[in-house]
């Protein structure tokens, strides 16, 4: 499975790649990212961020939503969100939506 390396920034519009699915594992009562031959169990905060990463919203929009929801400093949230998403992208669990050329 070849993956395209991405550099996550606030202008990125991240999403899970086609081969990965975010699902709730009823047996274990945890969220997991399922990918071919790999499973990742993100923490609650990562799950909340990933649920907002739909390929439409930018990272900046996700950060703004979280900063408002938690009444937290935007800069701190932005740093953490970008770092987490970059880590997931580096591991092949995240890709970036591209503008349609059609």
Q: Mind listing the domains of the chain with CATH numbers?
A: 14-95 (1.10.10.1150)
Q: pLDDT value at position 78?
A: 98
CA angle 82, 88, 70 (to 5 degrees): 45
More confident residue, 12 or 4: 12
Q: pLDDT value at position 10?
A: 97
Question: What would the DSSP string read from start to end of 30-98?
Answer: EEEEEETTEEE---HHHHHHHHH-BSSS-HHHHHHHHHHHHT--HHHHHHHHHHHHHHHHHTTS-EE--
Q: Rg for the chain (alpha carbons), in Å?
A: 14
pLDDT for 34-79, tens place per residue? 999 999 999 999 999 999 999 999 999 999 999 999 999 999 999 9
Q: Which of 70, 53, 75 is nearest to 62 (CA)?
A: 53
- 39 vs 72: CA distance, rounded Å: 31
Whether the per-residue pLDDT at 27 is higher than 60: the answer is yes
């Amino acid at each position: 499975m070849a993956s395209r390396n991405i550099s996550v920034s606030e202008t990125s519009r991240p999403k899970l790649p086609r081969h990965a699915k975010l699902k709730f594992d009823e047996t274990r009562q945890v969220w997991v990212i399922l990918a071919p031959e790999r499973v990742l169990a993100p923490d609650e905060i990562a799950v909340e961020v990933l649920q907002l990463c739909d390929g439409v919203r930018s990272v900046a929009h996700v950060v703004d939503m979280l900063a408002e929801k938690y009444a937290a400093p935007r800069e701190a949230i932005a740093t953490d969100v970008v770092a987490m998403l970059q880590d997931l992208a580096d591991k092949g669990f995240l890709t970036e939506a591209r503008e349609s050329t059609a």
